[in-house]
Structure 1
Amino acid sequence: MSHSPILSICIPAYNRPLWFHRALESIVIGNKEFESSVEIVITDDSSTQECEEIMRQVCCQWSGQCIYEHHPVRLGMVENWNRAISLTTGQYIVVLHDDDFLLKDAITNILATIKAVNHPVLLFGVEVVDEQERVMKRQIFKENQWLSPRDALISLLSNSSFVRFPAIVVARSAFAEMGMFRTEWREPCDLDMWIRLFSRYGVYCLQDVTTAYRVHDQALTMGVFNEQTINLLLGLFAEVKQLNILSSEEIVSCKALFLYQFILAGAWRQLKRGRLQEFRRVMELMDISEVKNLPCPKKWWMLNSIFRVLSNGLRI
């Protein structure tokens, strides 16, 4: 290409060819007018060649830049994200996981926002869908607004679902300045990245809804509700304290809101699938000393009480 694209859309793929197909088509189909402005970057950690075959089939309809790389030896989740980002040439980057997809007019809205809003971190609305793409909830902002580093951190750290990964658009220059996802933080490494970006730039929140975030049993996040993850999250809150942006009282309040929501959400995922022993195991995370010593937020008091009764009943 004679010039750099405005937007790079990365798909780090891993053994979900049908959903990968859906994600890729959501970029290609109906967006021909943006071929010179958008590049597609696919880094494939899959154990088969199915995604490559799908890429060739779908991207034959795309005359814009398309980069594909298959890894004979799996990189792993975090390094696969980083590899995709490292291959981009666009001014801004979206990481679209292979189980998520863009909504109609997403690229139109993202490109228009990049042109209109001179900010390195953009956060759009998202539809949370199930495996059949039925909308479970819409997570949207009431108005377009910039949040300062302090306000952005409070929003991020008091709501474990504040950032849905495919809804965040980041300038490549911001990744260059702040660095890539850090593997030492394992599953919460995305939260570590948002903390670093928000503490430096704040975040510009947009009303437009651009992506669908799919909730399903195959998601790698289904396995994060354990003591190791809680300890990593506590470590991230300790890092936030060192930034000297939030007061000690604000950090305690955010920590309680975040961890109660995180644990209760994990317990609910198990409960609605009828996995009662897994539900009880997740609820036992509330007994970790640093969590137990946090005040239960009013927002989560009723649900926590109900889940506690159910969990205790399973002990009998």
Structure 2
Amino acid sequence: MRSVGEPSFAISVCIPTFNPDLKYLKLLLESLERQTRADFNVIVSDDASANADLIKAVLSTCKLNWRADWSPVSIGMAANWNRCAQLATGQFILVTGQDDLLMPEALEQLVSQAQASNSDVVFSVPHFVTESGDELQNPSSAVTADSIFPNGDVPMNNRATIVLGLLYGNVFGDPCSTLIRLDSFRALGGFSTEYEHAVDLELWLRMAAGGVAITRISKVVASHRAHQKNATSVHVRSGASQRDRDRLAVEYEASEFADATWNRIVARLHLHRLHDLMRYRTASEPISVRMRGGGRTRLRAIAGEITETFGWTEPIGRSLL
């Protein structure tokens, strides 16, 4: 195994693996080899994959500065993400899925923005590709980031980040398109192992609640591969996505939201549950939180969700920025 030694890097690209499709893993590594910025290393943390020997063979041909760690037993997704980040030596980390892709200027654009704005987190535009690499519209059919965020670089209001996350889920960016300052990541405890699906979203909201500086750039720097076997698809079909969205709402229920805003969050949870039931046949999960205020306020929230869903009104999230 090639050792990273002790040099200082601007970025550590963290690749947690679990039974990866080797074709996609090779494509990810090739996309990293094409980066226009060279001061990064690659950390692979494998969660007891059945094809570990084949992963080692792929890494043996990799031209990058890399290090790999092999768990003898499976510790789970979030714990493996954290272990990968624990091995990082860069000032910043980027945690990418084992089948995602990075654009050639991804690391250069993200780090340049983080340094220029002194940001702890930099989101970029979510982007999706199919199994064959073709561009894909937002596979969740949810509100898109483009409909909420304006063009250009946007310093994120932390309070607005929390409300947007509770309303729409992860409209900010997948881990593969999000740069995180390693010191801030560690200070806040890393990814939560209590969540099944919304591990990244939970961290984004916790970082916003912790007051870190967050910026969004209107560039595509990475592509998240959407297919039936990836974790996102599995979690939606199993109901884990619903459970985590509900759990996040419970965690932030005591926050001082206006009744109108809170009721839109709760109405969106019901819409999210209905969408998964109709599209994925996901079993309905109970929603723990309730609307607030009088009947008129609640009806306005339901009507607002209906008109936004059908595109008759702009997303309420746009008014928060």
Query: With structure 2 as the length reference, what TM-score do the two structures score?
Result: 0.78
1:281-313 CA-partner distances (Å, limit 9, x unpaired):
x2x527x4658988371256559xxxxxxxxxx
- Are residues 1:234 and 2:246 paired? yes
- Are residues 1:150 and 2:154 paired? no
The one of 284, 288, 306 equivalent to 1:298 is 306
Q: Look up the equivalent residue of 2:225 and give its one-letter code.
A: R
| 1:132 matched residue in structure 2 | 132
**In 2 relative to 1, CA 2–285 (structure 1 residues): closer, same or farther, beyond 3 Å?**
closer
Conservation of the 8 A alpha-carbon contact between 1:129 and 1:212: yes
Query: 2: CA distance between counterparts of 1:106 and 1:220?
Result: 23
- Are residues 1:20 and 2:20 paired? no
What CA RMSD, in Å, does the superposition of the two structures yield over aligned residues? 2.7
Matches within 5 A, 1:150-169: 150-163=159-172, 164-169=174-179
| Structure 1 residue 266 displacement after superposition | 7.0
Q: Look up the equivalent residue of 1:254 and give its one-letter code.
A: I
The unaligned stretches of length 5 or more in structure 1 are: 271-278, 304-316
Aligned length: 282
- Are residues 1:189 and 2:193 paired? no
1:120-166 CA-partner distances (Å, limit 9, x unpaired):
01101132111111111375551211121111112222212413221
Conservation of the 8 A alpha-carbon contact between 1:44 and 1:51: no
1:205-259 CA-partner distances (Å, limit 9, x unpaired):
10121000111011122232345653442221121123x3533432331233355
The one of 5, 13, 20 equivalent to 2:9 is 5
| Structure 1 residue 167 displacement after superposition | 1.4
- SS of match in other structure, 1:122: strand
The unaligned stretches of length 5 or more in structure 2 are: 139-144, 292-297, 312-321
Q: Which shows bigger deviation, 211-220 or 14-23? A: 14-23
Query: 2: CA distance between counterparts of 1:72 and 1:182?
Result: 22
Conservation of the 8 A alpha-carbon contact between 1:150 and 1:246: no
| 1:122 matched residue in structure 2 | 122
Conservation of the 8 A alpha-carbon contact between 2:249 and 2:289: no
Query: 1: CA distance between counterparts of 2:261 and 2:207?
Result: 19
| 2:43 matched residue in structure 1 | 41
Matches within 5 A, 1:196-235: 196-200=206-210, 201=212, 203-225=214-236, 226-227=238-239, 229-235=241-247
| Percent identity of paired positions between Structure 1 and Structure 2 | 20
- Are residues 1:171 and 2:171 paired? no
Conservation of the 8 A alpha-carbon contact between 1:150 and 1:245: no
Q: Look up the equivalent residue of 1:230 and give its one-letter code.
A: Q
Query: 2: CA distance between counterparts of 1:196 and 1:147?
Result: 14
1:85-136 CA-partner distances (Å, limit 9, x unpaired):
1100111111010011101321221232233220101101132111111111
Query: 2: CA distance between counterparts of 1:252 and 1:241?
Result: 11
Conservation of the 8 A alpha-carbon contact between 2:16 and 2:46: yes
| Structure 1 residue 260 displacement after superposition | 2.1
The one of 243, 251, 255 equivalent to 2:266 is 255
Query: 1: CA distance between counterparts of 2:308 and 2:278?
Result: 13
Matches within 5 A, 1:47-62: 47-48=50-51, 49-58=53-62, 61-62=63-64
Query: 1: CA distance between counterparts of 2:67 and 2:181?
Result: 19
More helix by share: 1
**In 2 relative to 1, CA 240–27 (structure 1 residues): closer, same or farther, beyond 3 Å?**
same
Q: Look up the equivalent residue of 1:220 and give its one-letter code.
A: A
Matches within 5 A, 1:62-73: 62=64, 65-73=65-73
**In 2 relative to 1, CA 249–238 (structure 1 residues): closer, same or farther, beyond 3 Å?**
farther
1:166-186 CA-partner distances (Å, limit 9, x unpaired):
111111111122102121222
Conservation of the 8 A alpha-carbon contact between 1:152 and 1:202: no
Query: With structure 1 as the length reference, what TM-score do the two structures score?
Result: 0.79
Matches within 5 A, 1:63-142: 65-137=65-137, 141=149, 142=151
